[in-house]
Amino acid sequence: MALLMFLVSFLCASIGVIYFYFKGVYKYWEKRNVEYLDPIFPFGNMKDVLLARADFGGFLQDLYNRTKDKFFGIYLINRPCLVIKDPELIKTIIIKDFDHFVDRGILADEEYDPLSGNLFSLSGQKWHKLRVKLTPTFTSGKLRAMFPSVITAAENMQKHLVKNLNRNPNENIYEVRDLSARFVTDLIASVAFGITVDSISDPNVLFRKMGQKALEPTFKNGFVTLLSFMAPKLLELLKIKQTPDEVEKFMVSVVEQTVKYRGENNIVREDFMQLMIQLKNSGTVKEDGDWSAENVDSKKQTMTINEITAQAAIFFFAGFETSSSVMSFCLYELAKLPDLQDKVYQEIKQVLDENNGEYSYESLKKMKSLERCMHESMRIYPPAPALVRICTKDYKIPDTNVTVEKGTNILISLLGLHKDPKYFENPKKFDPDRFLPENTAKRPPFTYLPFGDGPRSCIGARMGRLNSKVGLAVLLSSFRFELGPTMGQELKMEASQILMQPVDGIKLKLIPRK
């Protein structure tokens, strides 16, 4: 009995200590005279996200709309975080004074979790050195050389659909997020890993299943992703990997076998993996047009298999999610607007007619209406709904008395910016004309940031846009898209997820064009 009383007393005392600790933390922004939203113990301002009541992007957009100042404070459980709203201040943070906000503050434990050692997650000098090495891998010349792999994957998808569409159009309902993801899986398997995969014909192929396992919108995956920037030390303490063991072993094995096979057989392919092999063997990527890679003594190699795998994996995971999302969201909006869809189709048809029915890297640039539709889709459904930074040294915000302390999280709500009526009139409306040159010129800079900006912007943005544009052009040239019978005029997003993932997917009817 005495032991029970002791345990109860100890538990109550512990809860009390934790409560008063949090109460002290929750005075942080008030003491600094910064506008803030009242936190709730022990969630901070993250209650709805952590309890799976809201998606992260929508939650942050709601906070953005509830505040008036250029920036405001929130609490990520027990971590003070500053949310930036003002476009000029955003520019200052991500470009002008970037040296104060170099890192994302995401855990990168290369020993325990090798795939976390990627360009997206790394910090400081490790990030900078890797960024310099990888920048030449996404030049126009490199993308042009990889284009045949992109178009091959898209045309394989087109042929499969034509072959398998039912004669009864009412039965031709496809989940286009899944369809787009399978297309991107085949494409990135070829370009990033140098292997041939056909998940369009067989959605159960191992490469596709590994991608699903890593990115499926489960509570666990969403929670781990949230913790990776909200409480990275907790992930490190508990030794929780951001990538499941099974996926990590598969990725490492594929890269190891590919690198070994190419080296032993002098195989050269014009793809991302070949560029990684160049980096491994010589420390630099060669000029456009030169895809060769010398075999060197293993002691002189500048990248390990794990480091190559980490870059190939983030290329796969980021490209898989962003490209397939842009495609599926764009198709959804075009399915709601048949006149606009027909306008885009006519443009694609005209470009193809001028190019003897063939797709090329150059001809794709002429599809301006399609490109504007993609931009508008990324405005409403940005690939990542927020930009994340961490203050790496104390920073006084210009023209204020507020000093952001080292270690403070910074968030920029892209959904908030992209749907702010000050910058985008009638923001819920899908209107690609917002991105006509004359309209873009009228808009304040740094109000549209689907891939970020500055030194820490998405290095593969051009590749991602190319993948999406090819996939959309091939699909829209062959099929008309209509909403499936279960689809409404708005999409609800999965709760507790960082990325925007619609509940039950996006089901559209495909009707072959004559």
The pTM (predicted TM-score) of the whole model is: 0.92
Q: Identify which has the larger pLDDT, 218 or 408.
A: 408
DSSP secondary structure code for residue 499 in this structure: S
Distances (CA, A) of 462 to 143, 418, 458: 8, 20, 9
Helix, strand, coil percentages (3-state) for the chain, rounded to 5, are: 55, 10, 35
C-alpha–C-alpha distance, residues 339 and 355, integer Å: 25
Task: Report, as an integer, the average pLDDT of 392-400.
Answer: 96
pLDDT level of residue 244 (50, 70, 90 thresholds): confident
Distances (CA, A) of 234 to 71, 121, 231: 27, 16, 5
Tell me which residue of 423, 466, 237, 212 sits closest to 316, measured CA to CA: 212
The pLDDT assigned to 89 comes to 97
Task: Report, as an integer, the average pLDDT of 463-469.
Answer: 93
The region of weakest confidence among 276-280, 387-391, 479-483 is: 276-280
Task: Report, as an integer, the average pLDDT of 433-447.
Answer: 97
The pLDDT assigned to 34 comes to 95
Q: Tokens 């998405």 appear where?
A: 458
Contacts of 340-347 with C-beta under 8 Å, sequence gap 24+, read 340/373, 340/430, 340/432, 341/476, 341/480, 341/481, 343/369, 344/369, 344/370, 344/373, 344/476, 345/476, 345/477, 345/480, 345/513
Sheet bearing 479-483, strands edge to edge = 173-175, 507-512, 479-483
Residue 9, pLDDT > 80, answer: no
* Angle, CA 11 vertex, CA 8 and CA 13 arms, to 5°: 110
Phi and psi angles of residue 328, each rounded to the nearest 5 degrees, phi first: -70, -40
C-alpha–C-alpha distance, residues 471 and 367, integer Å: 13
Tell me which residue of 348, 345, 373, 505 sits closest to 430, measured CA to CA: 373
How does strand 71-76 pair with strand 386-390? unpaired
The HSE-up count of residue 15 (CA atoms within 13 Å, CB side) is: 7
Residues of the chain with pLDDT > 90: what percent?
A: 58
Secondary structure of residue 44 in the 3-state scheme: strand
The pLDDT assigned to 290 comes to 81
The HSE-up count of residue 50 (CA atoms within 13 Å, CB side) is: 14
Q: Tokens 């740094």 appear where?
A: 446
Residue 467, pLDDT > 60, answer: yes
The pLDDT assigned to 4 comes to 57
- Model confidence pLDDT, tens digit, residues 339-382: 999 999 999 999 999 999 999 999 999 999 999 999 999 999 99
pLDDT level of residue 13 (50, 70, 90 thresholds): low
Among left, alpha and beta (phi > 0; psi -120 to 50; other), residue 19 is alpha
Residue 233, pLDDT > 80, answer: no
- Model confidence pLDDT, tens digit, residues 96-154: 999 999 999 888 888 888 899 999 999 999 999 999 989 888 889 989 999 999 999 99
Distances (CA, A) of 220 to 19, 79, 501, 503: 26, 21, 15, 16
pLDDT level of residue 470 (50, 70, 90 thresholds): very high
Residue 321, pLDDT > 80, answer: no
The region of weakest confidence among 7-11, 122-126, 168-172, 505-509 is: 7-11
Task: Report, as an integer, the average pLDDT of 401-410.
Answer: 95
The pLDDT assigned to 507 comes to 96
Q: Are 502 and 494 in contact (CB under 8 A)?
A: yes
The pLDDT assigned to 122 comes to 92
Helices (H), 195-242: 206-215, 219-230, 232-238
Distances (CA, A) of 431 to 221, 366, 375: 33, 19, 10
- In sequence order, the β-bridge partners of residue 40 are 44
As a whole number, the mean pLDDT across the chain is 89
Distances (CA, A) of 144 to 133, 138, 148, 270, 364: 20, 10, 8, 10, 11
Amino acid type, 15: I
Which one of 11-20, 64-73, 248-257 scores highest in mean pLDDT?
A: 64-73
Q: Tokens 């949230």 appear where?
A: 226
Q: Are 300 and 475 in contact (CB under 8 A)?
A: no
Secondary structure of residue 490 in the 3-state scheme: coil
Task: Report, as an integer, the average pLDDT of 444-470.
Answer: 94
The pLDDT assigned to 215 comes to 73
* Tokens encoding 20: 């008063």
The region of weakest confidence among 79-83, 276-280, 339-343, 356-360 is: 276-280
The region of weakest confidence among 5-19, 117-131, 153-167, 266-280 is: 5-19
* Angle, CA 24 vertex, CA 22 and CA 25 arms, to 5°: 65
C-alpha–C-alpha distance, residues 496 and 53, integer Å: 7
- Model confidence pLDDT, tens digit, residues 154-193: 999 999 998 888 765 667 899 999 999 999 999 988 888 8
C-alpha–C-alpha distance, residues 319 and 505, integer Å: 18
Secondary structure of residue 26 in the 3-state scheme: coil
Secondary structure of residue 278 in the 3-state scheme: helix
